[in-house]
Amino acid sequence: MAPGFAAVLAAVQQNYQAVYGSDADLSADTQDGQLASILATAINDVNDLCIDVYNAFSPSFAQGNGLSSVVKINGMTRAVASFSTATVTCVGQSGTSVGGLTLTDPSGNPWVIASPTTIPGGGSIVASITCGALGAVALGTGVAMTITTPTPGFQSATTASIAVTGNPVETDAGLRQRQAASTALPAKTPATGSLAAIFALPGVTRATYDENSTGSADSNSVPGHSISFVVEGGTNAAIASAIANYKTEGTGTYGSTAVTVTDQYGISKTINFYILSYTQIYVALTLTHLAGWNSATAALIQNVLVAAINGMAISQVNNVNVTVGPTVRYSKLYDAVNLSGDVAQAVSGLTQAQLDAISATYDVNTFYTGTAPAPTGVVNIVLSFGYAAQTNTSQVTVS
């Protein structure tokens, strides 16, 4: 550990007086005192730089580009940003081409309709749309979209599904978590080795497993002597190969997704696993404005809450729906609603000191979370959004 600036300055002053005499005036308002401060600042900056360089060699302390570089020793790369996708019901005259047209959601985000898409004789068609902005852009089902460029024969567009949100550039915290999991690749336990191999795959953001070593089905309906993986992101083929390469021979796999894997000897086997399914989570809160309140703070709180829920570890509720479900309790979101912690800093790009100043401008009066909308009369403002890839955001007004 390097000495602090005060200790460095004291050492510079002591050495200076050893050369020029103890009566040398090194007060801050003297030329000699200012020179001593300049020298101490330079030494302190070099000390900090040396510490940063040293820490950059450890995934536990490296940041930014340094972390992106050091995780390559684990065969990993930082996940890049992706676009949100959804489906939309396009209504209009038969034969109208809507492919490539742009829609705008209530928040002003542009969405492009997949091309080619032509409205058939029935007068409507469900088409895929992709957001024009990178990252986790939220969009719920039943949302009326604005047709950015009026097109003859194209009457309306309404979302038909909750958006599968894209991913922002992977945060340092997320990358450290994946790196830590990847070190289990040479583990003696096949289950942890499989999980580490899955985490190391490009595009995988979260994963978990349930290993049943008994002779009968467990509470998640996983059969005896079987293992069930649940994965978010990545490709089915890569996930199945990772499981096949590390699982114990003779152990069954369980899940709704089945992929045939052929080994180097030409022997095929079917690997089963689950792709993460989602549960709609509703959050409702009321705030009291204090001195310094800014209306933009409401959107910031909402974004931090969404990111906090989307970043929670997955857990098995049953063999079909593997979600956080009822485990999302408001006590787990105290930091988020008060703009505290790594998630708030990552979403806002602000320091914790800056966030603390913002959170001091409001008080939380009521706070509700659940898998259903807030009961009437409990609160008067509802921020509605989904868990993980599903997001349904209503207009936020905080009173």
Residue 93 CA, chain-centre distance (Å), reads 40
The strand pairing partners of 144, in sequence order, are: 158
Using CA atoms, how far apart are residues 144 and 45, in angstroms rounded to an integer?
A: 55
Question: pLDDT tens for residues 187-230?
Answer: 556 777 888 888 888 888 888 888 888 888 887 788 899 999 98
Using CA atoms, how far apart are residues 337 and 265, in angstroms rounded to an integer?
A: 54
| Of 69-73, 91-95, 167-171, 235-239, minimum mean pLDDT range | 167-171
In the predicted model, what is the mean pLDDT of residues 116-123? Answer: 92
**Res 323 pLDDT > 60:** no
Average of per-residue pLDDT values in the chain: 80
Sign of the CA dihedral with 246 first, then 252, 254, and 256 last:
positive
Torsion of CA 107, 328, 194, 71, to 10 degrees: 60
What is the structure's pLDDT at 376? 58
Tokens of 101: 């047209």
pLDDT: which is higher, 137 or 173: 137
Using CA atoms, how far apart are residues 41 and 112, in angstroms rounded to an integer?
A: 53
**Res 397 pLDDT > 50:** no
**Res 145 pLDDT > 90:** yes
**Res 137 pLDDT > 70:** yes
Tokens of 137: 């852009």
Using CA atoms, how far apart are residues 259 and 207, in angstroms rounded to an integer?
A: 17
Tokens of 268: 């095929």
Q: Is the distance from CB of 114 to CB of 85 less than 8 angstroms? A: no
Instruction: Give the start-to-end residue ranges of the domains of the chain.
Output: 5-55, 83-159, 184-275, 280-386
**Res 118 pLDDT > 90:** yes
pTM score = 0.50
What is the structure's pLDDT at 328? 57
Question: pLDDT tens for residues 33-64?
Answer: 999 999 999 999 998 888 888 877 777 778 77
Q: Is the distance from CB of 140 to CB of 384 less than 8 angstroms? A: yes
Q: How many CB atoms lie within 10 A of CB 97?
A: 16
In the predicted model, what is the mean pLDDT of residues 13-29? Answer: 90
